[in-house]
Amino acid sequence: MSHYVVTGGAGFIGSAIVRALLAEGARRIVVIDNLLSGSESNLEEVRGAVDFQKSDIRNYDEIAPLVRGAAVIFHEAAIPSVPRSIDDPVPSHDVNINGTFNVLRAARDGNVGRVVYAASSSAYGDTEVLPKQEWMTPRPKSPYALQKLVGEYYMNVFSSVFGLETVALRYFNVYGPRQDPGSPYSGVLSLFMKAVLERTQPTIFGDGSQSRDFTYVEDVAALNLKAARAPNVSGKLYNGGNGGCITLNQAWALLQKLEGVEIPARYGPPRAGDVHDSQADTTLAVRDLGHAPRFSFEEGMRRTLEWYRTQ
């Protein structure tokens, strides 16, 4: 019986994919994670149902036997964060580009059925119009954005040249339970959640008018499962967003409303490499993959806040 592999499966998004697979009745799931930013606690209640392998995608010899013969690899392992890739570009380059190449090489050598890749909306950079559509010319503004774009191109080339089935999903600012707020590089909503629950001021870089298509993690996990099964999509790229457009000021205002508090945000200088506006056109993902995001921004925020409250 062939198995599923989730690289970065102990991370925030990877562990949500693991849960979605188990909910669908998957029997064999191998999680590959070096625990650099992931944590076994993200897999707590499903730990007995998965084969956890502490392993690094930078090491081909380690991962090749683990992926051999897999039905699908969900490739989530990465060093995320635009500012982190600027402050410390070598590790993110190595993991995001060389690590991704190793995963593809191991997939091809091991006759894997399909690779579904976690690409990033950062690849678009600043576009003249919104929403962003897959045909638009990429304009990466940071090492991270470029690295994730190289991964997409590698997916496409492994499909066309080696006949490996690949699909790339450009995620749009995923948020939800288990996103770690413990680092300055953490996703902004996890930092906002921490601030509102601790009654402290968040810092907003810029004037807060920048917007994001914040996408709830369970919608992204569901999309991954659809991308794993959809016919005739090899080598293609899809937006994995929700279609929304929420400014940081709106997001912080909503959290204050949900908590019933008034805490003015602190404003700092804009961040290098930052994209100003981001919103997904979901037409292609809906048409080809059956993408059907279920969570409105407010509903996703309520659920996420509830989870942080219990931590």
Rounded Cα gap, residues 286 and 235, in angstroms: 17
Give the binding range for ligand UD2 (CB under 6 A) out of 40-48, 63-71, 151-159, 268-276. Answer: 268-276
* DSSP letters spanning the chain: ---EEEETTTSHHHHHHHHHHHHTT---EEEEE--SS--GGGGGGGGGGSEEEE--TT-HHHHHHHHTT-SEEEE------HHHHHHSHHHHHIIIIIIHHHHHHHHHHTT-SEEEEEEEGGGG-S-SSSSB-TTSPP---SHHHHHHHHHHHHHHHHHHHH---EEEEEE--EE-TT----STTS-HHHHHHHHHHHT-PPEEESSS--EE--EEHHHHHHHHHHHHH-SS-TTEEEEE--S--EEHHHHHHHHHHHHT---PPEEEPPPTT--SB--B--HHIIIII-------HHHHHHHHHHHHHT-
| The pairing of beta strand 203-205 with beta strand 4-7 | unpaired
Among 154, 171, 216, 295, binds ligand UD2 (CB under 6 A): 171
Query: CA separation (Å) from 289 to 168, 240, 293?
Result: 12, 10, 12
> Could you tell me the smallest distance in angstroms from the CB atom of residue 69 to ligand UD2?
30
Minimum Å gap between C-beta 23 and ligand UD2 is 25
201: phi then psi, degrees, rounded to nearest 5: -80, 130
Distance of CA 281 to the CA centre of its chain: 17
Catalytic residue among 117, 124, 144, 216: 144
Q: For ligand UD2, which is the closer residue by CB, 81 or 159?
A: 81
Residue 144 known to be catalytic = yes
* Contact code string over 114-153 relative to ligand UD2, x by CB under 6 A: ------xxx-------------------------------
Letters for 73-112 (x = contact with ligand UD2 by CB under 6 A, - = none) are -------xxx------------------------------
Q: Which stretch binds ligand UD2 (CB under 6 A): 10-18, 108-116, 200-208, 218-226?
A: 200-208
Query: Which of 110/206 has CB closer to ligand UD2?
Result: 206
Cα(279)–Cα(202) distance, integer angstroms: 23
Among 172, 216, 238, 252, binds ligand UD2 (CB under 6 A): 172
**Per rule CB under 6 A, count of chain residues that contact ligand UD2:** 22
In angstroms, give the least distance from the CB of 233 to ligand UD2. Answer: 21
Q: How far is the CB of 62 from ligand UD2 (least distance, A)?
A: 25
Residue number with the smallest Cβ distance to ligand UD2: 122
Q: Among all chains, which residue has been given the structure tokens 């602190």?
A: 266
Looking at beta carbons only, is 47 or 139 nearer to ligand UD2?
A: 139
Stretch that binds ligand UD2, among 42-50, 94-102, 223-231, 269-277 (CB under 6 A): 269-277
Does 187 engage in binding with ligand UD2 (CB under 6 A)? yes
Give 66 or 190: the residue with its C-beta nearer to ligand UD2: 190
- 274 makes contact with ligand UD2 (CB under 6 A): yes
Where in 210-239 is the site for ligand UD2 (CB under 6 A)?
210, 212
Pick the closer one to ligand UD2 by CB: 212 or 291.
Answer: 212
Catalytic machinery residues: 144
Site for ligand UD2, rule CB under 6 A: 80-82, 120-122, 171-173, 187-188, 191, 203-205, 210, 212, 248, 271, 274-275, 278
